[in-house]
Amino acid sequence: MDHGQEETPSKALNRLAHLLKSGALFIAIGYIGLYLSVALLRVTYPFDLEWLEGGSVEHVRRLLTGQPLYVAPSLEFIPHNYPPLYYYVSAAVAQALGVTPTSLRLVSIVSSLASFVAIYLLVKRETGNRYAAGLAAGLFAATFRISGAWFDVARVDSLFLALTLGGVYLIRAHTKHSMLVCAGLLFSLAMLTKQTALIMAGPVLLYLAITDVRRALLLIGVVGLVAGGGTLVLDYLSDGWYKYYVFELPAQFGARLVRPRLVLFWTDDILSRLTIACGLAAIGLAGILSKSKGRGGFYLVVTAGMLVAAWLPRLQSAGYDNTLMPAFAGISILFGIGVHELMEYAQRWSPKDRVVAGIGVYSFCILQFAGLLYNPITQIPTRRDRNAGRALVAKLAQIPGRIFMPYHSGCYVPELLERCRSAHQMSISDISNFGSEDARTLLADDYGNAIAEKRFDVIVLDYGDPRLLAEIEKHYVREELDLGGADVLWPLTGFRTRPQLMFVPRTF
């Protein structure tokens, strides 16, 4: 058809295309605002949003009191199976704002916002399209609930992801050696926050080794010096306990492999939730591969690393939805690129066909966003939750002496933090089930002696092994523990647990 004879779109089609385009961006930005609203409404909640938050608080308390993190296991303290950077960053905030979950959550909130920015910048860098970049950042924000509502909790995940995405952006956007050194520093810091960063950075390092040896050597040198050297120093200072907790103990978790997730990860976790986004991501990857094998290869290895970094932890029985965050970030980046590639390709068509293509693309984006809609009210603690927590704190405050509350150490009783110092139940279980013989013996002996010696003035448990309860009841008396309802004080994400049992020492 001659250009002068091209069929022009009707005003109605143009208006519809404009409305859908604006609507998709409005929804994307709305998801960012929705997440921020939820995060700010629950940042000051003094009790558990997720049951391991209290353990994170205890890590920060130890750092601020000059105590080491990686020590022999005991009921006093067992570190989580992560490197220490998140706890050091949180300790810096807590020094100004206080040792409460709020300080740690603020680190996660800022980190999650940094991830949104990194995704936006990566897509804008590749496409020059602010609109597509905004959709990509909004899509990742929209995965908040299917990622376990985890972006803002007092855990390591948001910080490690933000640091890794920052490193990816610097490698892709800059060629100066100084920027490559900064990227290496970000990768190293990510690895010193969560080991999963190594899985994400590894393919990028390998890709650079194949395509640009000089840049690869510089990047590998920085990572080796900072992350590798930091690991050796931490292990030396802890007499080998750092390596044990961060590498050796997690290696045993493979025994908890959930084999159905080998396939369900791809079908249920990814494709069923992000069907349209995955389709657009595939188009985006194909588009940049067709234009430049170098650019396409880079995003191929980046996305592969992010998918594998989500897949491997998800295979473990304890692998919760938060493990999916890297995969959703990678898909979001390619999703934004895919939107741009489709609309750019449509520029070859007639004006009417371009408008129709836009209507289709924007409609699909809206459908994808609609599929991720969640009720924000269910993600915010209620007044009854706060009242139940305060009532429990008041009850414990009436009992002088030490409190053993391993399922919620450091979080349920911020006013009684010094009296509620103990290892977290998750760490106790990890050592008991997967620890070395020496570690298990140390912990079992300490546990048995603590009960027999009535070392604690009150014990609060969520659950209890019958054999453990039998041993406790030889030396302690069970008391009534009423939280004021069956639907209060449950964590809003992760393992669903709350206090159920309370014991005080026998007096005879």
**Residue 156 or residue 415, greater confidence:** 156
The answer on pLDDT for 320 being more than 80 is yes
* Helix locations, 128-239, DSSP H: 130-142, 157-173, 177-191, 196-211, 213-223, 229-237
Buried b (16+ CB within 10 A) or exposed e, 267-278: eebbeebbebbb
User: Looking at residue 1, what is its pLDDT?
Assistant: 44
pTM of the complete model? 0.95
Mean pLDDT (whole number) for 326-344: 97
Centre a 10 Å sphere on the Cβ of residue 375 and count the other Cβ atoms it contains. 8
Q: What is the pLDDT of residues 431-451, one digit of tens each?
A: 998 998 999 999 999 999 999
Please tell me the distance from the alpha carbon of residue 441 to that of residue 431, in angstroms, as a whole number.
Answer: 10
Hey, what amino acid is at 404? F
Task: For residue 45, give the amino acid letter.
Answer: Y
Is pLDDT at 3 greater than 70 in this prediction? no
Q: At what angle do helices 101-127 and 85-97 cross, to 10 degrees?
A: 120
pLDDT digits (tens, 9 = 90+) for 365-383: 999 999 999 999 999 999 9
Across all residues in the chain, what is the average pLDDT?
Answer: 93
Whose tokens are 């002696």? That residue is: 449
At residue 183, the pLDDT reads 97
The predicted-structure confidence for 91-125, as pLDDT tens digits, reads as follows 999 999 999 999 999 999 999 999 999 999 999 99
In terms of Cα–Cα distance, which of 219, 228, 249 is closest to 82?
249
pLDDT value for 412: 67
5 pLDDT above the threshold of 70:
no
Parse the chain into domains and list their residue ranges: 8-46+100-378, 381-505
Q: For strand 403-404 and strand 476-479, is the pairing parallel, antiparallel, or unpaired?
A: unpaired
Handedness of CA 80, 81, 87, 88 (dihedral sign): positive
* Mean pLDDT calculated for residue range 229-247: 97
Confidence tier at 61 by pLDDT (50, 70, 90)? very high
Distance in angstroms (rounded) separating the CA atoms of residues 107 and 155: 9
- Rounded to an integer, what distance in angstroms lies between the CA atom of residue 136 and that of residue 170? 18
Within 8 A by CB and 6+ apart from 81, the residues are 245, 246, 249, 250, 427, 430
How is residue 508 written in tokens? Answer: 């005879």
Question: pLDDT (tens digit, 9 = 90+) per residue, 167-190?
Answer: 999 999 988 889 999 999 999 999
Question: What is the side-by-side order of every strand in the sheet holding 458-461?
Answer: 403-404, 458-461, 501-505, 476-479
Distance CA 189, CA 18 (A): 43
- Least Cα distance to 309 among 201, 204, 408, 439 occurs for 201
502 SS3 class: strand
**pLDDT mean over 270-288:** 97
Residue 371 and residue 324: Cα distance in Å, rounded?
17
For residue 169, give both structure tokens.
């952006």
Most confident of 7-21, 142-156, 201-215, 461-475: 142-156
Q: Does the structure show a pLDDT above 80 at 318?
A: no
Q: 3-class DSSP state for residue 493? A: strand
Question: 499 pLDDT exceeds 70?
Answer: yes
Element (H, E) at 61: helix 53-64
Question: Residue 293 — pLDDT band, cuts 50, 70, 90?
Answer: confident
Residue with tokens 């399209």: 129
- For position 4, what pLDDT does the model report? 47
Cβ atoms < 10 Å from Cβ of 485: 11
